[in-house]
Amino acid sequence: MRKTIIGISANETEDSGEKLHHMPINYLPQGYVKGVQIAGGLPILLPIGTKEDAKLYIDQIDKLILTGGQNVDPKWYQQKPEFDANLMLTKRDEFELALIEESLKQKKPIFAVCRGMQLLNVALGGTLYQDLSKRQPETVIHMQDPVRRQVATHSIRTKENSQLEGVYGRKAMVNSFHFQSVKDLGKGLQITALSEDDIIEGFESIEQGQRLLGIQWHPDFAYEELKQERQMFRFVVNEL
C-alpha cells in the first residue's frame, strides 16, 4: 500500500556546536518526522535549495509541512526589521516561498507550523507582529521557555465547524514558542483559533480546492505526551 509522501521543510546552520565539531548542517526537529511516521505517512526532508528545486520537490510529494525556526524577514511584507538580523535567514524564506508558490499552483495541501504559519500568511499578502513583547498589555506568555516544550501553557478557542475544532475541540491548551505572530490575515484565509489575548493561533483556507492549515503552536514538541498532537499529525497525513 502506497504511503502519503509528506515533504517537510528543513533548516540549516553554519555552526552545529561543539558536539558536532562545529560542522554546517541541515537539520529538522525529530518530532515532525516521528509524528508523520506514527500517522502512517512517509516523511521526506526538503533542504534549502533553489526555486527550481522547489518545483521538483513539490512534483514528488503529496503534502507539504512548513516548520518552525527563524523570524520571517519583514521585507516580504514591506517593513524594516525591528529585531536582530541574526534572527532571520532570508535564503530560507526565499526557498520556502517558492515551495508555497508551487504548492498553491499544484493544489497540494500545506500544513504550516509556527514560523511556517507566519510565512504562509505573508506569502498570501498578510503581515506579522514583529515582536509580541511590544504588544501591550502582555497577558499571555507566548515564549514559554524555559518551561518544557511538552507542557501546554495557554488556552486557545477554535471556530465552530473548523478543522481545528475537529481535532482539538472548541477549547484546548497548547504550548507556545514564538516572538512573532500573524497580524493582518492573508488573502483566502479565515481565522480558526485565537489565544486568550486574541492572537491568531490558527487559520484555514476558504478557497475551494485549496487545503491550507496553519497553527502557531508546536505539535512536534508534544506528540509523545499529548494525544491531541498525535491526532493533529493523523489529520494532516490522512485528511488534510
The neighbouring-strand residues paired with 44 are 7
Bridge partners of 65, per DSSP, are: 8, 111
CATH number of residue 185's parent domain: 3.40.50.880
CB distance 24 to 10 below 8 Å: no
The rounded radius of gyration (Å) of the Cα atoms in the chain is: 17
Q: Provide the domain count of the chain.
A: 1
User: Range of 25's domain?
Assistant: 5-238
pLDDT of residue 9: 98
pTM, rounded to two decimals = 0.94
Q: Is 120 exposed, middle or buried (0-12, 13-18, 19+ CB in 10 A)?
A: buried
pLDDT along the chain (240 residues), means of 10: 95 84 87 97 97 97 97 95 88 98 98 98 97 73 76 87 96 88 97 93 94 96 89 97
Predicted pLDDT of residue 30: 94
List 129's β-bridge partners, or say none: 181
pLDDT of 87 reads 87
Give residue 136's pLDDT.
59
pLDDT on residue 146 = 83
